[in-house]
Amino acid sequence: MWSADLAYAVGLTATDGCLCNDRRHLAFDSADMELIEIYARCVGHQVRPRRDSGGGNSYQMQYGDVALWDWFVSIGLSPRKSLTLGALDVPDEFLFHVVRGLFDGDGTIRNFVHAPTRRRYPNYLYERLVVRFTSGSRAHLDWLRSRLASALGLGGSITHMRDRRRESGGSYYLQYAKRDSERLLVRLYVDSDGRRLERKWRIWDAYLRGELCRRRDSNPHGLAATRP
**Alpha carbon distance 38, 196 (integer Å):** 8
Q: What is the CATH number of the domain that holds 60?
A: 3.10.28.10
What is the extent of the structural domain holding 63?
A: 4-226
Label residue 78 exposed, middle or buried (CB < 10 Å: 0-12, 13-18, 19+).
exposed
CA distances from 68 to 62, 82, 101, 217 (A): 13, 19, 17, 51
Looking at the structure of the chain, the number of domains it has is 1
Helix (H, G, I), strand (E, B) or coil at 168: coil
> How many CA atoms within 13 Å lie on the side-chain side of 60?
14
Q: Please list the pLDDT of the chain residue by residue as tens digits (228 residues).
A: 899 999 999 999 999 999 999 999 999 999 999 999 999 999 999 888 887 766 667 888 999 999 999 999 999 999 988 889 999 999 999 999 999 999 999 999 999 887 666 666 566 566 889 999 999 999 999 999 999 999 999 999 999 987 665 555 689 999 999 999 999 999 999 987 889 999 999 999 999 988 766 555 555 444 444 333
Name the nearest CA neighbour of 12 among 196, 151, 182. 196
pTM of the model: 0.87
